């Protein structure tokens, strides 16, 4: 559980730091689809991860 929770929280924090200023500057129209694409790619990488280490460090 800890292997998945830490990268998730780090990713959420970094996502807020990156997408909040973009959303303030451009509105929600552009950053929202970009975030959805990043989420979809990360989910696909998790689905095909060969090991737990790769799953917890490469996409979750």
Q: Is 9 exposed, middle or buried (0-12, 13-18, 19+ CB in 10 A)?
A: exposed
Spatial separation of the C-alpha atoms in residues 51 and 60, rounded to whole Å: 13
Whether residue 56 contacts residue 3, with contact meaning beta carbons closer than 8 Å, is answered with: yes
Output the pLDDT for position 8.
79
Q: Could you read off the pLDDT of 9-51 as tens digits, one per residue?
A: 888 888 888 878 877 887 777 777 887 888 898 888 778 878 7
Output the pLDDT for position 44.
84
Spatial separation of the C-alpha atoms in residues 45 and 51, rounded to whole Å: 11
Output the pLDDT for position 21.
84
On the CB side of 19, how many CA atoms lie within 13 Å of its CA?
A: 16
Residue 2 has pLDDT above 70, yes or no: no
């Amino acid at each position: 559980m800890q292997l998945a929770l830490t990268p998730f929280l780090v990713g959420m924090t970094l996502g807020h730091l990156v997408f909040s200023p973009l959303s303030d500057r451009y509105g929600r129209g552009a950053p929202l689809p970009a975030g959805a694409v990043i989420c979809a790619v990360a989910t696909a990488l998790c689905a095909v991860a060969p090991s737990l280490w790769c799953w917890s460090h490469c996409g979750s």
